[in-house]
Structure 1
Amino acid sequence: MKTRAAVAIAPETDLEIREVDLDEPRADELRVKIVASGVCHTDAIIRDQWYPVPLPVVLGHEGAGIVEAVGSAVQGFSVGDKVVMGPAFCGACEQCLAGHPMYCVNFYDRNFGVQRPDGSKAFSDSQGAIGSHFFGQSSFAEYTNVVAHGAVKVPDNAPLEILGPLGCGIMTGSGAVLNVLKPTPGSSIAVFGTGSVGMSGMLAAKAAGATTIIMVDIVPERLEFAKELGATHIVNSKEVDPVEAIKEITGGGVDYALDTTGVPAVFAQMTKSLTIRGHGALVGAAKLGTEAPFDIGTLLLTGIKISMVIEGDAVPKEFIPRLISLHARGMFPFDKLIKKYKFEDINQAFVDSADGSTLKPVIVF
């Protein structure tokens, strides 16, 4: 069938909206009519070739839509089902079987290989094949074929226009907090970075019962917005030393900390802001080969733990419904992070995401 898709063609170059051919869904796939798709930092860094992903490719990995066709081997889905798409995974390796599919040993190939395991691609046009199956979905298209086991059914009354980011950015921040750090009621946490991932982590910490929530950034407007959403303290790290500020607020350091920036200096600050036996997590993506300072001489004495976290260490079919339930009860208002854009304005959404003027752009088809 014919469909429109936004195609990444070169680093730091606008996506091209083209009419392309979409092949038939395979036995293990769903064809989904995309209602909306979030724009994530990962889309931008792949467009710009931080990771060596073949171009051209249809990006997009925070899709939500309606099932149009069901592959012959797929069970549990019907035409008309509403779905949110999470990352792809093999479902058979030791990590998948242990309940950690975001650490699938085949994660890179399934999500960044931009083709099916057999080498085929779902999209093409007169210029040739176009990469597909980015994160199992390539949701910057009006219609796409997705890996069925990465799709999550949601209720018929679910607001698909806002749910796509639950499949990556918002899942990453909230999952790092709820699934990995697991703050206890009454505990303290510092979140470095007030983008959508950091704000999601903050909302999750609040839902978990943390009572000292410190947001760290250099943008005053975003810090004030964080306070409106529930941060108890804000620290402008352009004006003060954030480690000293956090230790002063908490009387020695935070129980938990989250770095959403991927900036080496910020990672070092995060490690130093923890109290004795504190637990920190990194979710911010950096270029391959990036190294960060880590004071093993001093930090050895603290007994801290640092986790590297992908996609919130979530099981999407279990975790996304939890987030939807929290949102429905007013305990996780992630919709306040979202600004909607028309498909034709997708490149403006990338610009606004990069300069921070929009926390979480969502393309509505």
Structure 2
Amino acid sequence: MRIDAAVVSVPGGPFEVSPVELDSPQAGEVLVRIRAVGICHTDLGMRATWSKHRCPQVFGHEGAGVVEAVGPGVTRVRPGQTVCLTYRSCRSCRQCLAGHPAYCIAGLNTAGRPDGTPTITRDGEPVFGGFFGQSSFATFAITHEDNTIPVPETLSPVIAAPLGCGVQTGYGTVTRVVRPAAGATLTVYGAGSVGLCSVLAAARAGARVIAVDPIAGRRALAEKFGACATIDPTSTDDLAAEVIASHGRGTDHAIDTTARQDVFAAAVAAAEPRGEIALVGIGRALEFDVMSVLYKGLSIRGVIEGDVVPDEVIPELADLYAAGQLPLDDLITVYPFAQINQAAADSLGGATIKPVLLVDA
């Protein structure tokens, strides 16, 4: 079928919204009419570093829409159902069976079909798809039974879209991994969409939350979401000392969304003995003083997708939003799909927190 997709032809190149051909869904696959899709920093980071051998490529992994058709064997969703798209998992490996599908060993999120046949072509030539099992920067997407999650039809697609990655990452890191006790000190480094959702979840748990971010508007939102204090890291020469002074002691739990060396070093220095640091930002190598970590007894761990089971957490998040307890409207800026390059630039420049593209299929 003829659709429009935002194709990246070369690594670091622009999104080219152009007509392409999308295949029909095969066994286990689902055809979804995309109504909205969030832009995540992972999309933009991968665009910049993607191999030239896997271009042209369609990114996008925070899609939301309506099931148009299903392939053979699909039973979990049906045509006409409103859905949120998330990451893929095999549901049968050791990690999936243990309730940690974000660490699925099958490697499904950057691969296409097992037989190598393309889901997308342009002018008769293959276009790489299957990014997070969806490639949802498009008017329609081929998804899979395992990453297509039903949501209430009353839930706006603009709200549903970021639930499948950014929101569940921030919320899940707190509720599924860190699990702070009431009164615990928790510092969130970086108040983007992931960080702000972490602030919200930690405040709901009764933790004493401090948010660190250089942008005043984001610090204001962190306070609205329950942070007891915020810090502008550009206003101090010693961020760790500022964090400790604001808390009155070290940090029991830290969540770093930045993947910046200076921020990570401050998180280690500000940590309470036997504290923990959860790394959720995508970046390159980070270094630390082994002796500082050793003598403090710190735990440092990476967290992908909030270590959540999407089938469980996405309905939970939809319910929280419906109950007025998840103010995602404060984070989202809506752009027409055709303005994807402007939305991406605004996201990278910090002008928006969570850009969501409204797709008119």
Fold shared per TM-score above 0.5: yes
> Percent of pairs identical after alignment?
42
Alignment partner, residue 90 of structure 2:
90
- Equivalent in 165, 175, 186 of residue 183 of structure 2: 186
Q: Is the 8 A contact 2:11 2:52 kept in 1?
A: no
Matching residue of 2:348: 354
Q: Secondary structure at the match of 1:238?
A: helix
Count of residue pairs brought into register by the alignment: 358
Q: Distance in 2 between matches of 1:51 and 1:174?
A: 31
Structure 1 residue 76: deviation in Å?
Answer: 2.2
- Aligned equivalents of 1:321, 1:19: Cα separation in 2: 34
CA distance in 2, matches of 1:42, 1:51: 15
SS at match of 2:135: coil
Amino acid at match of 1:343: F
Q: Any residues of structure 2 matched to 1:1-365 within 5 Å, and which?
A: 1-49=1-49, 54-107=54-107, 110-113=108-111, 115-126=112-123, 128-210=125-207, 212-240=208-236, 241-286=238-283, 290-365=284-359
Q: Which whole-Å CA distance do the structure 1 matches of 2:185 and 2:199 have between them?
A: 11
Shift of 1:244: 0.5
1:234 partner letter: T
Following the alignment from structure 1 to structure 2, what is the Cα–Cα distance between the partners of residues 292 and 51?
23
Q: How far does residue 209 in structure 1 lie from its aligned partner after superposition?
A: 2.1
Structure 1 residue 53 displacement after superposition: 7.1
Question: Normalising to structure 1: TM-score of the pair?
Answer: 0.94
Kindly provide the CA deviation profile for residues 13-38 of structure 1, in whole angstroms up to 9, marking residues without a partner as x.
Answer: 21111111111101101100001000
CA deviation profile, 1:292-324 (whole Å, cap 9, x unmatched):
221221221222211100111011001111111
Task: Tell me, yes or no, if the aligned pair for 1:46 and 1:53 is still in contact at 8 Å.
Answer: no
Letter in 2 for 1:225: L
Unaligned runs of 5+ in 1: none
Contact 1:207 1:332 in 2 (8 A): no
Larger mean Cα displacement after TM superposition, 32-41 or 121-130: 121-130
CA shift at 1:106, angstroms? 2.0
Structure 1 residue 118, shift from structure 2 partner: 1.9
**What SS does the aligned partner of 2:142 have?**
strand
> Partners of 1:322 and 1:130 in 2: how far apart?
35
SS of equivalent residue, structure 2 residue 121: strand
Q: Distance in 2 between matches of 1:14 and 1:352?
A: 14
Between 57-66 and 320-329, report the one with greater CA deviation: 320-329
Question: RMSD of aligned C-alpha atoms?
Answer: 1.5
Greater Cα shift, 292-301 or 2-11: 292-301
Indicate conservation of the 8 Å contact 1:84/1:154, yes or no: yes
